[in-house]
Amino acid sequence: MTTKQAIAIDGGAVYGPYTPGVRSGNSLWLSGQIAPEAGGLEAQVAGALAKIDALLEAGGSSKHDLVAVQVLLMDIEDFTAMNQVYAAWMEGVRVPPTRAAFQAAALPAGAAVEIVAHAVLDSA
């Protein structure tokens, strides 16, 4: 039987009835992370990725364990700018995760970007 463990970070804003992260066995599922308070698009991407780093660490993981990422953008025209920040964040990751990016009709709290992630911890 696998038990679920809630993962959260101090001071992390939650915009509804959900858990920021859940660890189940060797999998870590993160809710969509936003950082509308950060400013422009690039700052919001960096802020969301920093929250992902913190949640992964709280769950005993890191970006090196990511297997899938979804990026929701308010405007798909922001793809290139988002991708530049994301690529710098991924630097040094031997096997980058799969990823999908798409435009959303609206995001919580007026965010320009929301990033969802799933990690699998190496059990070896």
> Would you list the domain boundaries of the chain?
4-14+22-120
Tokens at residue 33, please? 């992370």
What's residue 123's pLDDT?
63
Distance CA 33, CA 116 (A): 6
CATH of domain 4-14+22-120: 3.30.1330.40
pLDDT tens digits for range 4-60? 999 998 877 777 888 999 999 999 999 999 999 989 999 999 999 999 999 999 999
Q: What pTM was estimated for this model as a whole?
A: 0.94
Distance CA 49, CA 92 (A): 15
Determine the 3-state secondary structure of 106 from DSSP.
Answer: coil
